Amino acid sequence: MIQQGDAIPSVAVKLVNKSGVIDGDSATIFGDGRVILFTVPGAFTPTCHNNHLPGYVSAGEALRTKGVNRIICMTVNDHHVVSAWADASEALGVVEFIADGNATLTKALGLDKDMSGGGMGTRAIRSALVIKDGIVEAVFTEDQPGQVTSSGAPAIVEFLESMPS
């Protein structure tokens, strides 16, 4: 699993933002400024849709005042599903999305989990990373399914408040 001090790997991804779906490279996307990446098991899934994503939408301004340039949500879904989720959640403009359909970046970060038992295949674990200029400053993961505590927006705001200016 990726750790503090590690560089974000270079992997081809699909970025979903207000401009649409853009082919990009993860190292470039996370390489400039402070970025919060939070990962969720799936678009439209109950905890992800009703708890994790809305927390970041609500905390967008608070995170920006703490020096965050971008907030990005990554899920192992295709870009069509992620685009629909971004629209339905009304998160665009606050949160950008990475559609990691084949779990390539998720696996490169070591944040993958086999959820085949529940019919979901390989998915991302629920986590949050604080990244500055492409280097991981902190990693937060959840221990229990359906739980959003250490990877939720309030915990990340608190973490950023504790950092020296």
Contact partners, residue 13, CB within 8 Å, separation at least 6: 23, 24, 25, 26, 29, 98, 99, 100, 104, 105
What is the pTM assigned to this prediction?
0.96
Instruction: Determine the average pLDDT of the residues in 71-98.
Output: 98
Instruction: Determine the average pLDDT of the residues in 6-22.
Output: 98
Residue 115 has pLDDT above 90, yes or no: no
CB 129 within 8 A of CB 160: no
Range from 23-27, 33-37, 49-53, 149-153 carrying the lowest mean pLDDT: 49-53
Catalytic residue among 15, 48, 59, 98, which?
Answer: 48
The 10s digit of each residue's pLDDT in 92-104 is: 999 999 999 999 9
Q: Which domains does the chain have, with CATH numbers?
A: 12-162 (3.40.30.10)
Distance of CA 87 to the CA centre of its chain: 17
% pLDDT > 70, the chain: 99
Reported as a pLDDT band with limits 50, 70 and 90, residue 164 is confident
Residue 121 has pLDDT above 80, yes or no: no
Residue in the structure block whose two tokens are 């085949």: 116
Cα–Cα dist 141/62, whole Å? 21
Q: Whole-number mean pLDDT of the chain?
A: 96
Residue 165 has pLDDT above 80, yes or no: no
Annotated catalytic residue 48: yes
